[in-house]
């Protein structure tokens, strides 16, 4: 092989993007294709826990070891995505003493720093903990923002020459003589799609090697080349609270069970989760009782959750895998470890490897292992540097906090902006023009929105995951229109309207699961506001081009919105 | 989960227990309070400071947004704009969802002052002196005539502005030559009051030992400056057959909350709660003649401090006219009365913001419109703009006058040329803006109902 090998990576979740960055940094030629936005899959619907390994310290020590190792690495290379909140395993009177001891021993065995504290000490750290918590084990759990992390990985991969194609679905594998030699890709058309890649149409991307990092979808890619990959998708619900009732990760110290963890995430707290096998990773029921279960069970740890405001709920699907000979019945028994499936060894199919299972926390380690494997195929001896080189945004971030005043922003707004932007803060926030706050709930200013638009084009859901704009308590009621108006100048009306509609649809999706009490008032207010000021009640003039005369003839029963089937990143299901 | 489905129950700040997150300080975790906010901005449109000051981010930011963005990490700063809030508490009243806005502002301000403000700065000491008005007033009352003369001397006022940042535009309030408490003691104190109350009961055909007793929280101003208000309170209450006692007391804390001096406020609150709640235990109700004092005792105390007896005191505190409207047929007596003399006048009445929060903004108008010999006209909903010590600060003076403009305007258009209000600092502002004399409703009740109010 004379020239640099070209590797095609399928899947823009944490696993795929980690592989792309690693291979690009080792000097390989990389193309990553993702059917939706980055984080369209499970990565965009996870809990945001940077595992210390404590959760696996009893049941799965191999995973626990990997977690603590990567936990340390990510604190370093991704400091602007990580908040070291610390965590604890709390024991209620009905939880067994034996398990508590096992947990402690397990942590020690895996070199996870763990200490026992009394119930009082735990409440001194987290005052809203239930009065009857006996004691707790502290561990170095943290919170991590998956969106920011994946975007930063993508930026780094691109800096090293990788091509990242979002909204590009692999429809087939190109197989010649039992060897995968490329992928058929369908690029989405439509103006609100990311503008950086090739727009519209199909493309055959030839590659010297293909990596299948499609998580819960891995079996479908396998099917394209007639190989079996038995991923067992298992769904889990997560419920987002309006505020952080806790500033520390709170785990329940008992063997396994639903609803046993609360993770402080940015301005919110996320309750989770369940573990239930589903047939189709894209089409499964989202049920009200699951949300109630979260609140009803976790209020045993933090009683105020019962009265607290819930802003939305979402579901994710674990790409669990177990070697065919294990045969667990219960998905909670399936290992959380990852597997590298070399199809040459396994199925006599050359040119492709799949990576399945694993966790977000260990994404980098998985990337390293698979990159080693790919390099081996070509006899390349290049060193992995992803554990040392900080991600864009995490270089020398600490000094910046001292200069926050210079951006002329009010205290919590500047503070939050800098936390999100990390070392990029100066470039992004030092603007000449006025810099009003666009999203008040999450303190996102125009400068940050503009910066996100420059990265993702007229795709407001992509802007959202980069900035958190519209993710606060009004759930976009007051800022979606402002975000859309930031597209003015660069994009025409039609594109802007589509991007705006897609954002509103996505915001509505998760809120449907929180329609009681305060969030119901919010939704009612948002509706009234959007109907009366933005014509969201589908006045007949809401066509294209706008038929202003139609305002006079009153509404017709058929509206243009009411679109269903949106997923977390605002794309439609199945990436189309 | 049923109880979470309670859309109509406003979040009064009682559903959640504020929690001491930072055990060594007075700070409460008020993040849960922002759960009720749905960003409607009604509070912003009702904020008098935001109306005149484009730089002020408004109560929505100051309260629910800032608290939600805050984290318990030590270096999560409070934005300095909280010092521009005048603590008029209008936002509290405006919010349809029951967000505990003023509690959020007060707590944030306390944190800002104790942790971020330079304790050697002139601003800090100026604010501290202004908010500890009681101490200055106590000093001045020792030599009231000299104080009145010296404080209002042109050069002295100029110097105060230059060195302390206290505006030279305002005249310092006049100190009474005899404080209310001195008068009270001379007059026979509690024992004297009991005799008079018993006489009044006999006259009214009530049993002599009727259970009618109140503890008067006079506040600083009616003790040192407008003693006629305190005297009117005592005479009016005795007229209705109440025994009055005047317990040991400090400042209510209102100016200290507004300046973020929560430590000072707590010291005074401890004195007040301890003496007043003892009396409440014995069956006394607490009465204040200043609406900010009653506001402090009934709302801010339990929101900000955790002192034994504080909730009982809060539940048994009333404003002076409010109490009589609840327990006495004062309306009928006023209807039957006719006022003559100095107070037979037309009044331009301003309802203080803090009276509005207690639902008392209509009481004076409703009462006096039926009084023969006097007329009363409400000058509208606007804020007077002084908000206690706020309008005394050189850098806030203009803002304060701009806020007051609407009220001044309405006062000029009202028929009367005498003002009326329950709040001593609103009275200062009203007088400053229009030159009118300003009276307290108790004075008019006294003139109407208490004959020959000599003793
Ligand atoms: C409820 C829940 C909570 C979790 N919480 C945590 C946690 O707190 N901490 C933690 O460390 N881990 C957690 N995990 C695990 C973690 O989220 C996943 O292991 C991880 O995100 C998987 O990433 P991935 O890239 O392998 O898969 P994905 O993120 O699903 O990525 C696969 C991508 O492939 C794309 N794709 C699929 N088919 C095609 C195609 N034909 N063409 C192009 N692209 C395609 C998909 O759109 C998708 O974006 C959680 C998982 C769940 C379900
Ligand atoms: S207390 Fe008054 S000045 Fe302060 S924010 Fe509320 S309305 Fe504005
Ligand atoms: S009035 Fe109340 S609900 Fe409306 S924005 Fe202000 S605090 Fe929030």
State the complex-level ipTM: 0.83
Residue A550's pLDDT is what? Answer: 65
Give the residue from B1, B5, B36, B42 with the most A CB atoms within 10 Å of its CB, the best one to mutate: B1
A482 and A358 belong to one structural domain: no
Compare all CA atoms of chain A with the CA of B55 and give the residue at the minimum distance: A410
Residue B275's pLDDT is what? Answer: 94
Whether residue B6 is predicted with pLDDT greater than 50 in this model: the reply is no
A267 neighbourhood in chain B, CB within 8 Å: 68-69
A261 and A112 belong to one structural domain: yes
Whether residue B150 is predicted with pLDDT greater than 80 in this model: the reply is no
Residue A542's pLDDT is what? Answer: 57
B32 neighbourhood in chain A, CB within 8 Å: 243, 245, 304, 308
**Does the beta carbon of A47 lie inside 6 Å of ligand 1?**
yes
Whether residue B26 is predicted with pLDDT greater than 50 in this model: the reply is no
CA distances from A347 to A39, A117, B242 (A): 29, 52, 98
Whether residue A66 is predicted with pLDDT greater than 50 in this model: the reply is yes
Q: Using one digit for the tens of pLDDT, what is the confidence trace for A437-449? A: 999 999 999 999 9
A422 and A526 belong to one structural domain: yes
Domain housing A119: 82-143+232-318
> What is the dotted CATH code of the domain comprising B333-449?
3.40.50
For residues A368 and A374, give the distance between their C-alpha atoms in angstroms, rounded to a whole number.
10
Domain assignment present for residue A327? The answer is: no
A137 and A158 belong to one structural domain: no
A513 and A525 belong to one structural domain: yes
- Dihedral of the alpha carbons of B268, B274, B277, B279, in degrees to the nearest 10: -110
Residue B153's pLDDT is what? Answer: 66
pTM, to two decimals: 0.84
Neighbours of A284 (CB within 10 A): 16
CA distances from B250 to A274, A514, B268, B275, B293 (A): 57, 48, 5, 10, 11
Residue B2's pLDDT is what? Answer: 36
pLDDT band at A342 (very low <50, low <70, confident <90, very high): very high
Q: Is beta strand A249-252 parallel, antiparallel or unpaired with respect to A261-265?
A: antiparallel
Three-state secondary structure call for residue A171: strand
The count of structural domains within chain A is: 4
Interchain CB contact of B15 with A (< 8 Å): yes
Look at B181 and B174; give whichever has higher pLDDT: B181
Q: Are B174 and B151 in contact (CB under 8 A)?
A: no
Interchain CB contact of B295 with A (< 8 Å): no
For residues A27 and A78, give the distance between their C-alpha atoms in angstroms, rounded to a whole number.
22
B65 neighbourhood in chain A, CB within 8 Å: 412, 440-441, 443
A222 and A238 belong to one structural domain: no
Closest CA to B144 of B226, B224, B220, B249: B224
Residue nearest to atom 4 of ligand 2 (CA): B85
Matching residue, tokens 């006294």: B446
**Which runs of consecutive H residues, i.e. helices, occur in A286-328?**
288-298
Measured between alpha carbons, how far apart are the two ends of chain A, in Å?
Answer: 36
Whether residue B127 is predicted with pLDDT greater than 90 in this model: the reply is no
Cis-peptide into B446, omega within 30 deg: no
pLDDT-wise least confident of A142-146, B160-164, B205-209: B160-164
Domain assignment present for residue A46? The answer is: no
Domain assignment present for residue A570? The answer is: yes
Domain assignment present for residue A51? The answer is: no
Residue nearest to atom 2 of ligand 2 (CA): B88
> Cα angle vertex A97, ends A96, A102, to 5°?
100
Tally: H helices and E strands in chain A: 16, 23
For residues A341 and A353, give the distance between their C-alpha atoms in angstroms, rounded to a whole number.
6
Domain assignment present for residue A56? The answer is: no
Residue A397's pLDDT is what? Answer: 64
High-pLDDT (> 90) share of chain A, %: 73
**Does the beta carbon of B37 lie inside 6 Å of ligand 3?**
yes
For residues B25 and A154, give the distance between their C-alpha atoms in angstroms, rounded to a whole number.
44
Look at B439 and B21; give whichever has higher pLDDT: B439
Q: Which DSSP letter does residue B3 get?
A: G
Flag if B71 and A244 touch (Cβ within 8 Å).
yes
The CATH number assigned to the domain holding A136 equals 3.30.9.10
**Does the beta carbon of A36 lie inside 6 Å of ligand 1?**
yes
A214 and A344 belong to one structural domain: yes
Whether residue B9 is predicted with pLDDT greater than 90 in this model: the reply is no
For residues B244 and B215, give the distance between their C-alpha atoms in angstroms, rounded to a whole number.
6
Q: Name the residue facing B79 among A295, A411, A520 (closest C-beta).
A: A411
* Closest chain B C-alpha to A278 CA, distance in angstroms: 27
Matching residue, tokens 């004062």: B330
For residues B189 and B201, give the distance between their C-alpha atoms in angstroms, rounded to a whole number.
18
For residues A112 and A87, give the distance between their C-alpha atoms in angstroms, rounded to a whole number.
12
Mean pLDDT of chain A: 89
Q: Are B193 and B151 in contact (CB under 8 A)?
A: no
For residues A370 and A377, give the distance between their C-alpha atoms in angstroms, rounded to a whole number.
11
Q: How many CA atoms, within 13 angstroms, populate the side-chain half-sphere of residue A487?
A: 25
Look at B158 and A430; give whichever has higher pLDDT: A430
Closest CA to B288 of B318, B311, B316: B318
Q: Using one digit for the tens of pLDDT, what is the confidence trace for B342-385? A: 999 999 999 999 999 999 999 999 999 999 999 999 999 999 99
Residues B210-231 have a mean pLDDT of 94
Q: Which DSSP letter does residue A458 get?
A: S
For residues A413 and A221, give the distance between their C-alpha atoms in angstroms, rounded to a whole number.
44
Closest CA to B427 of B356, B360, B350, B367: B350
Residues B146-174 have a mean pLDDT of 75
CA distances from A458 to A158, A166, A176, A449, B450 (A): 20, 13, 38, 11, 76
B5 neighbourhood in chain A, CB within 8 Å: 516-517
A86 Cα: distance to centroid of ligand 1 (angstroms): 24
Residue B14's pLDDT is what? Answer: 42
Residue B22's pLDDT is what? Answer: 40
For residues A469 and A477, give the distance between their C-alpha atoms in angstroms, rounded to a whole number.
11
Of A292, A318, A344, at which residue does a domain stop?
A318
Residue nearest to atom 6 of ligand 2 (CA): B91
A467 and A561 belong to one structural domain: no
B396 Cα: distance to centroid of ligand 3 (angstroms): 25
B18 neighbourhood in chain A, CB within 8 Å: none
A182 and A238 belong to one structural domain: no
Flag if B32 and A416 touch (Cβ within 8 Å).
no
Residue B308's pLDDT is what? Answer: 93
A461 Cα: distance to centroid of ligand 2 (angstroms): 36
Whether residue A259 is predicted with pLDDT greater than 80 in this model: the reply is yes
Flag if B21 and A127 touch (Cβ within 8 Å).
yes
A157 and A107 belong to one structural domain: no
A180 and A298 belong to one structural domain: no
For residues B43 and B34, give the distance between their C-alpha atoms in angstroms, rounded to a whole number.
13
A36 and A156 belong to one structural domain: yes
Number of residues that make up chain B: 455
Candidate from B105, B254, B292, B402 with most ligand 2 atoms within 8 A of CB, to mutate: B105
**CATH architecture observed for domain B31-115:** Orthogonal Bundle (1.10)
Look at A533 and B231; give whichever has higher pLDDT: B231
What backbone torsions phi and psi does residue B18 show, to the nearest 5 degrees? -60, 140
Closest CA to A18 of A201, A156, A140: A156
* Closest chain B C-alpha to A108 CA, distance in angstroms: 28
Domain assignment present for residue A66? The answer is: no
Whether residue B3 is predicted with pLDDT greater than 90 in this model: the reply is no
Q: Which DSSP letter does residue A309 get?
A: P
**Does the beta carbon of A316 lie inside 6 Å of ligand 1?**
yes
Q: Are B418 and B345 in contact (CB under 8 A)?
A: yes
């Amino acid at each position: 092989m004379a020239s640099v090998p070209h590797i095609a990576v399928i899947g823009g979740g944490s696993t795929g993007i980690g592989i792309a960055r690693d291979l690009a940094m080792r000097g390989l030629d990389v193309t990553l294709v993702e059917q939706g936005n980055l984080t369209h899959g499970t990565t965009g619907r996870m809990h945001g826990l940077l595992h210390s390994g404590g959760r696996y310290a009893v049941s799965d020590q191999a995973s626990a070891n990997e977690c603590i190792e990567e936990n340390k690495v990510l604190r370093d290379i991704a400091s602007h995505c990580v908040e070291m909140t610390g965590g604890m395993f709390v024991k209620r009177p009905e939880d067994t003493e034996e398990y508590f001891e096992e947990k402690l021993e397990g942590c020690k065995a895996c070199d996870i720093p763990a200490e026992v504290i009394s119930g009082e000490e735990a409440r001194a750290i987290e005052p809203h903990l239930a009065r009857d918590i006996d004691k707790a084990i502290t561990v170095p759990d943290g919170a991590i923002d998956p969106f920011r992390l994946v975007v930063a990985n993508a930026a780094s991969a691109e800096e090293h020459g990788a091509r990242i194609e979002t909204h590009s679905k692999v429809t087939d594998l190109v197989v010649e003589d039992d060897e995968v030699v490329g992928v058929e890709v369908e690029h989405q058309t439509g103006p609100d799609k990311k503008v950086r890649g090739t727009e519209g149409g199909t493309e055959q991307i030839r590659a010297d090697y293909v990596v299948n990092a499609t998580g819960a979808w891995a079996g479908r890619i396998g099917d394209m080349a007639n190989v079996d990959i038995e991923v067992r998708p298992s769904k889990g619900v997560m419920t987002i609270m309006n505020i952080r009732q806790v500033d520390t990760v709170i785990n329940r110290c008992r063997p396994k069970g639903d609803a046993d963890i609360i993770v402080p995430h940015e301005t919110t707290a996320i309750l989770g989760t369940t573990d239930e096998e589903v047939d189709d990773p894209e089409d499964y029921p989202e049920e009200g009782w699951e949300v109630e279960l979260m609140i009803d069970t976790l209020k045993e740890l933090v009683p105020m959750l019962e009265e607290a405001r819930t802003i939305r709920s979402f579901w994710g699907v674990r790409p669990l895998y177990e070697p065919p000979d294990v045969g667990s019945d219960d998905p909670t028994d399936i290992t959380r470890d990852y597997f590298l499936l070399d199809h040459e060894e396994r199925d006599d199919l050359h040119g492709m490897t799949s990576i399945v299972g694993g966790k977000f926390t260990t994404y980098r380690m998985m990337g390293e292992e698979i990159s080693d494997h790919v390099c081996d195929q070509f006899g390349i001896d290049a060193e992995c540097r992803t554990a040392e080189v900080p991600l864009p945004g995490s270089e020398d971030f600490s000094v910046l906090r001292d200069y926050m005043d210079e951006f002329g922003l009010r205290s919590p707004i500047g503070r939050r902006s800098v936390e999100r932007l990390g070392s990029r803060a100066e470039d992004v926030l030092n603007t000449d023009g006025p810099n009003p706050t666009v999203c008040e709930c999450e303190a996102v200013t125009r400068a940050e929105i503009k910066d996100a638009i420059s990265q993702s084009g007229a795709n407001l859901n992509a802007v959202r995951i980069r900035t958190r704009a519209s993710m606060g308590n009004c759930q976009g009621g007051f800022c979606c229109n402002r975000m859309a108006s930031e597209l003015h100048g660069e994009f025409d009306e039609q594109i802007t309207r589509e991007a705006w509609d897609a954002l509103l649809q996505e915001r509505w999706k998760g809120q449907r699961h929180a329609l009681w009490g305060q969030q119901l008032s919010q939704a009612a207010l948002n509706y009234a506001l959007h109907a009366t000021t933005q014509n969201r009640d589908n006045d007949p003039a809401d066509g294209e081009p706008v038929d202003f005369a139609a305002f006079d003839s009153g509404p017709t029963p058929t509206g243009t919105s009411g679109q269903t089937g949106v997923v977390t990143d605002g794309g439609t299901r199945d990436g189309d | 989960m049923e109880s979470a489905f309670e859309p109509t129950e406003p979040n009064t700040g009682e559903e959640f227990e504020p929690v001491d997150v930072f055990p060594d300080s007075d700070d409460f975790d008020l993040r849960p309070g922002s759960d009720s906010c749905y960003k409607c901005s009604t509070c912003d449109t009702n904020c008098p400071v935001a109306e005149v000051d484009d730089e002020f981010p408004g109560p929505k930011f100051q309260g629910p947004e800032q608290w939600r963005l805050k984290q318990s990490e030590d270096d999560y700063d409070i934005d300095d704009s909280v010092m521009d809030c005048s603590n008029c508490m209008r936002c509290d009243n405006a919010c349809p969802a029951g967000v505990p806005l003023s509690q959020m502002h007060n707590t944030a301000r306390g944190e800002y002052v104790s942790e971020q403000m330079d304790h050697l700065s002139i601003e800090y000491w100026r604010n501290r002196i202004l908010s500890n008005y009681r101490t200055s007033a106590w000093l001045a009352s020792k030599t009231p005539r000299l104080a009145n003369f010296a404080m209002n001397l042109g050069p002295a006022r100029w110097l105060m502005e230059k060195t302390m940042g206290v505006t030279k535009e305002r005249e310092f309030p006049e100190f009474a030559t005899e404080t209310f408490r001195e008068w009270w003691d001379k007059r026979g104190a509690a024992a004297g009051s009991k005799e008079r109350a018993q006489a009044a009961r006999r006259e009214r055909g009530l049993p002599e030992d009727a259970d009618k007793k109140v503890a008067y929280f006079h506040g600083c101003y009616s003790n040192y400056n407008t003693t006629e208000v305190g005297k009117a309170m005592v005479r009016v209450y005795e007229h209705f057959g109440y025994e009055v006692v005047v317990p040991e007391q400090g400042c209510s804390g209102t100016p200290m909350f507004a300046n973020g001096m929560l430590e000072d406020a707590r010291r005074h609150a401890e004195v007040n709660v301890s003496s007043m709640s003892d009396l409440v235990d014995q069956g006394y109700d607490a009465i204040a003649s200043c609406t900010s004092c009653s506001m402090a005792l009934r709302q801010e105390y339990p929101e900000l401090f955790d002192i034994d007896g504080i909730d009982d005191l809060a539940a048994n505190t009333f404003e002076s006219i409010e109490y009589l409207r609840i327990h006495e047929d004062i309306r009928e007596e006023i209807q039957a009365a006719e006022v003559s003399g100095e107070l037979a006048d037309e009044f331009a009445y301003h309802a203080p913001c803090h009276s509005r929060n207690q639902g008392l903004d209509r009481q004076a108008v409703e009462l006096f419109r039926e009084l023969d010999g006097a007329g009363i006209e409400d000058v509208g909903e606007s804020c007077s703009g002084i908000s206690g010590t706020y309008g005394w600060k050189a850098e806030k003076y203009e803002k304060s006058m701009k806020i007051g403009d609407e009220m001044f305007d309405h006062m000029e258009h009202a028929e009367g040329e005498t003002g009326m209000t329950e709040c001593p600092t609103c009275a200062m502002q009203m007088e400053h803006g229009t030159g009118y004399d300003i009276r307290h409703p108790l004075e008019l009740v006294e003139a109407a109902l208490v004959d020959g109010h000599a003793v």
